[in-house]
Amino acid sequence: MANVVENLGKLERRVTISLPKDTVQKEVDSRIRQLAKNVRMPGFRPGKVPLKMVTQQYQGQVEAEVLSDKVGKEFFDVTRTENLRVAGQPSFAPKGGEVADDYAFDATFEVYPEVKIGDVATAEIERTVTTISESEIDRTLEILRKQRVHYHARGEGGEHGDGGADTAAKDGDRVTMDFVGKLDGTLFEGGSAEDFTFVLGEGRMLPEFETAALGLKVGESKEFDLKFPDDYHGKDVAGKTAQFTITMKKIEWAHLPEIDTEFAKSLGVEDGDTTKMRGEIKENLEREAKRRTQQIVKNQVMDALLKISELDVPKALIEQDQQRLVEMARQDLQQRGVPNAADAPIPAEMFAEQAERRVKLGLVLAELVKTNDLQAKPEQIRAEVDEFAKSYEDPKEVVRWYYSNQQRLAEMEAYVVESNVVDFVLGKARVSDKEVSFEELASATAQA
């Protein structure tokens, strides 16, 4: 039997589960008799252990299992009868006070909240629009050229020339040098190296170091002072001024490949057609721009939905999501090769705000999808898989990969549902378009 469900707050509820002791004992006795058929004990053949001995050893364990099963079933029956949607896991505790004929447990739990979504038409969305121009294609080609750079020693002739008459180190050159650093005349750890190579102008070294290297020729040396930043990662030298001596050993100038047939072939254009190469680059940039703009507008839509929605968030769901985020963080550390990452002491509290937002947004989206029939349709999922597969060498294999795994397909389904929500909101909200360059778009999404 069960008592009336008590309201303990906005979402918290409590119900008392009562189980007749004689009913529980009958089930315990039945299970022990079944157990006795196969139980093993020293000095007895299997199934021949006296029932009394089996009862003495297993009574507590079996009784706990019976109580757990019956309380769980009774709780399920109560919530179904009362039409309660339980959020998270209930907690069970023995009810205080002596009850002669019954076991009594208090089940405390939370229910899903009522979600009130305001007028979507009041939401304001600034939609980012990016048009891929010829200059964007040129900029991408320049990046691709730099990725294929190779170096020649300055002053030495070769198939690409000698790099010019001036053999001094310049920005863009790859230099190899020895250096020695001292603090108050004493060498310090990490302050010296031989045959150290870096590219001038890439910002790998501190500005004073690069400035000192500029203009040097092979065989020349230079002494200079270098003040380490106060926030420098090496705490022993942070904020201090060291004296460095550098000796140039090699200077190599950068040769970038020409944008020609061979270059196009290196990018996968079989016939080397540079016009086709530019077209493929444009398609890739447009695909990437679409992905990035969709992400930005999706975030804006989600923020807008949260602003116009009213609901209480179950603490149990927040705590569950915090634990999920902790496990995700540990998995990330494991993938990075961090020792003992699986047991890393990551406090769940650090994810409290993030978890609350995720849970709240999930409840809002579920309500919006249900009330507006925004579920993902099979043809939508297939279209999205096909679109995603286009960016791979073998699209058919990518499609097969998705449809061979229900989890991967479920992830794509969730993506389609989110897209349906975004389209629904954009169709009703006040939307203004903002044109940005691809470079600005990439910077905005990198910071998000």
pLDDT at 35: 86
Which two structure tokens, joined as six digits, stand for 193? Answer: 């190296």
Most confident region among 45-49, 59-63, 177-181, 328-332 by mean pLDDT: 177-181
- List, in sequence order, every residue forming a beta bridge with 431; answer none if it has no partner: 125
CA dist 73 and 64 (Å) reads 14
Over residues 401-418, mean pLDDT = 91
Phi–psi pair at 432, nearest 5 degrees: -125, 145
So what's the architecture of 264-447 in CATH? Answer: Orthogonal Bundle (1.10)
Q: Model confidence over 9-35: pLDDT tens digits?
A: 899 999 988 888 889 889 888 988 888
Q: Model confidence over 60-96: pLDDT tens digits?
A: 898 999 999 999 999 999 999 889 999 989 999 888 7
Question: Where are the CATH 1.10.3120.10 domain residues in the chain?
Answer: 264-447
pLDDT at 416: 93
Inform me whether the pLDDT recorded for 3 exceeds 70: no
Q: Model confidence over 99-155: pLDDT tens digits?
A: 567 888 889 999 999 999 999 999 999 988 999 999 999 999 999 999 898 899 888
Question: Where are the CATH 3.10.50.40 domain residues in the chain?
Answer: 149-255
Question: Where are the CATH 3.30.70.1050 domain residues in the chain?
Answer: 6-112
How far apart, in Å, do the first and last CA atoms of the chain sit? Answer: 54
Fold classification of 149-255 is Chitinase A; domain 3 (3.10.50)
pLDDT at 344: 79
**pTM of the predicted model, to two decimals?**
0.70
Over residues 195-211, mean pLDDT = 93
Most confident region among 46-55, 149-158, 214-223, 329-338 by mean pLDDT: 214-223
Fold classification of 6-112 is Alpha-Beta Plaits (3.30.70)
Q: Model confidence over 334-392: pLDDT tens digits?
A: 888 888 878 878 899 999 999 999 999 999 999 999 999 999 999 999 999 998 888 78
pLDDT at 446: 64
Is residue 80 classed exposed, middle or buried when 0-12, 13-18 and 19+ CB atoms within 10 A define those classes? exposed
The Cα-based distances of 299 to 127, 274, 302 in angstroms read: 11, 37, 5
pLDDT at 448: 55
Inform me whether the pLDDT recorded for 304 exceeds 60: yes
CA dist 383 and 375 (Å) reads 15
